[in-house]
Chains A and B, each alone.
Chain A
Amino acid sequence: MANLRDGLEKKTLTTLVSSKAIGRIDKWIDKYPLEQKKSAVMAALRIAQEENQGYLTTELMNAVAQYLGMPNIAVYEVATFYSMYEHKPIGKYQICVCNSISCMLNESEELFHYLQERLGVKPGEVTQDGRFSIKEVECLGACTGAPMVMIGKEYYENLTHEKMDKILESLN
């Protein structure tokens, strides 16, 4: 049952994310001039997303807006413009497969299909155990290691299907 007070109650960022996360966000705010707190919005959204199993909600975005003194809409604009922000649940491990030219010339399409088959999910879906999701992304700037994927913060390069299998097995 949905809580009827959802949407009415405005939660602050400090109640939605850990104090450690707030500390990290504050460090980012310190990098910019006092009156330019909003420069920290990209970092704040990333950290908030990390604290929420990898995706953003309206509640989180509103709380970020309030924390940085920005209009909600300005935060939505940022959160929907950049490809690294997610707005739906993703797997514990999201596999971002580069589909751009150097990777394509090195069979990234085949790798992408292989992953879908092996994990039984299409882009945008999450495996039943919640562990994996797949996403097609544009050039990740590791073209000399094609084909490559990014999982979390790690790059994995020069992949073959066997290598990919081993990587999947090593994650848990």
Chain B
Amino acid sequence: MANEVCFKNMHLDRPWTLETYQSSGGYSVLKKILREKTPAAEIIDELKTSVLRGRGGAGFPTGLKWSFMRRDEPGQKYIVCNSDEGEPGTCKDRDVLRYNPHALVEGMAIAGYTIGASIGYNYIRGEFWEPYERMEAAIEEAKAAGLLGKDILGSGFDFDLYNHLGAGAYICGEETALLESLEGKKGQPRFKPPFPAGFGLYGKPTTINNTESLASVPEILSQGGKWFVDIGKPSAGGSKLFSVSGHVNKPGNYEIPLGTPFRELLELAGGVRNGRKLKACIVGGSSVPVLPGELIMDVDMDYDALMEAGTLLGSGGVIIMDDTTCMVKVLENLSHFYMSESCGQCTPCREGTGWLARIIHRVEKGQGEMADLDRLEDIAEKVGGNFYKRQGGRTICALGDAASMPVLSFLKHFRKEFEYHIEHKRCMVRS
């Protein structure tokens, strides 16, 4: 049951073309909706039945999100796609853009119709030039075929879609930072409320969804919400893209049903490289808590099971670490990332991510002291709350939480390695 939604056409020749997309039923859902003038509520109900949860990381139900928009109120509304993909370990949206851009075009047009938006923007990270060109070509093809633009297929529905290019900033993946960036400003997250559904792009009602979420919509509506939920779990429908990277034999993006055991995903990815032992895994992109190999092996890859196991599904970036990995070094790398990418708006995050990175750096270099470990936990809690106590962060956006979870989880599961670095002034694994 792999490759049924976003990667459905992966095996076909030039899957990114309109011709290929239409040859496997592409755009038939959009056409049907426009022809039959399907009530928006019906589309939303179908999405609710499908239990599609946002693929950007937070897992918010997509149908519910769309229902927040007051479709029939006058005034401009927007649908915005988040193709800023920057969470270390995650590179699935890149392949949706490169290999199935028309699914995203169709998904965004359907979203526009459902929430009453006549304009859509797809925010693509600035480094994604090849995916951007594929998307540009797809939009041109769709326009030429009369599937985008004014009065689509004589239905009276107008929908214009534009790509926007970022310029290098992880924080623009946070949805309100993305809106700021789209407005031509620094990407600094907004206070919420108001939420984008009330006050979004240019102050107008806006829905923001991840690339994979939107690209899944046509297939869900084509096969039915029931079909989709049955692929996955009752609490998390469908199949999902997982990027498997790190120490594996066959790194790659895999589309598998939610609820697939981790062990099977690891097998799909060819197992741990050189037949080594799985030491640890970060299953949901760099921000989620790490789990030791023995705790993840038998867990199912869905929101609830991963939560119970002590981590999060996040963006589906599965980072595999074998037994040659120094966990102090890895945490140093992660903390450096969050320090670099903090937008600087909130003091706890701006200062705290720097403190975390500097202290872990000195521990890694063998210059730390035992008190540093408690210090790290203390700072991590002050920046981003405590995942284990179900406490959220104290900042405008969740980047603080994202910086805190690695620190707390590495110390929880691999504290001995940190202590060894401090005591022996060298690495436990590499010496």
Contacts and interface: CB of A to CB of B under 8 A. Distances in A.
Contacts of A142: 91, 94
A141 B128 contact: yes
Interface stretch (B13-21, B150-158, B241-249): B241-249
Contact of B88 (A82, A143, A153): A143
A81 B46 CA distance: 41
Given A42-B165, A145-B251, A78 B186 contact: yes
B86 A139 contact: yes
Q: Which of A83, A101, A106 has the most CB of B within 10 A?
A: A101
A74 B184 CA distance: 9
Interface in B387-426: none
Interface string B159-197: 000101111111000000000011111110000000000
B86 A81 contact: no
Given A40-B184, A138-B86, A102 B253 contact: no
Given A105-B247, A139-B88, A84 B330 contact: no
A149 to B, nearest CB: 11
A101 B247 contact: no
A46 B184 CA distance: 13
B257 to A, nearest CB: 20
Given A82-B167, A84-B168, A139 B337 contact: yes
A146 interface: yes
A143 B355 CA distance: 27
A42 B184 contact: yes
Interface string B325-348: 100011001101100110100000
A105 B340 CA distance: 19
A30 to B, nearest CB: 9
A153 B124 CA distance: 14
Interface stretch (A1-9, A31-39, A110-118): A31-39
A42 B94 contact: no
B167 A46 contact: yes
Contact of B183 (A36, A82, A96, A100): A36
A104 B333 contact: yes
Contacts of B106: none
A13 interface: no
B13 to A, nearest CB: 22
Interface in A67-107: 68, 70, 74, 77-78, 81-85, 96, 99-102, 104-106
A139 B87 contact: yes
Given A33-B202, A144-B244, A102 B181 contact: no
Interface in A115-133: none
Given A42-B167, A45-B167, A85-B167, A144 B252 contact: yes
Contacts of A105: 245-247, 319, 321, 325, 330
Given A100-B337, A138-B170, A139-B337, A144 B164 contact: no
B330 A101 contact: yes
B126 interface: yes
A148 to B, nearest CB: 10
A32 B333 CA distance: 38
Interface residues of B, number: 56
Given A46-B167, A138-B86, A142-B91, A84 B126 contact: yes
Q: Which of A78, A143, A146, A150 has the most CB of B within 10 A?
A: A143
Interface string B3-24: 0000000000000000000000
Given A82-B126, A82-B166, A141-B90, A100 B184 contact: no
Nearest to A137: B168
B165 A144 contact: no
B161 to A, nearest CB: 10
A28 B72 CA distance: 30
The 4 A-B residue pairs whose C-beta atoms are closest, nearest first, are A83-B168, A38-B184, A82-B167, A102-B245
Interface of B: 76, 85-91, 93-94, 121, 125-130, 162, 164-170, 181-187, 202, 243-247, 251-253, 282, 286, 317, 319, 321, 325, 329-330, 333-334, 336-337, 340-341, 343
29 contacts: A31-B121, A32-B162, A36-B184, A39-B183, A46-B126, A77-B186, A78-B184, A81-B186, A81-B187, A83-B167, A84-B127, A99-B333, A100-B333, A101-B89, A101-B246, A102-B89, A104-B330, A105-B321, A137-B168, A138-B340, A139-B337, A141-B86, A143-B89, A143-B90, A144-B245, A153-B129, A153-B130, A154-B130, A155-B130
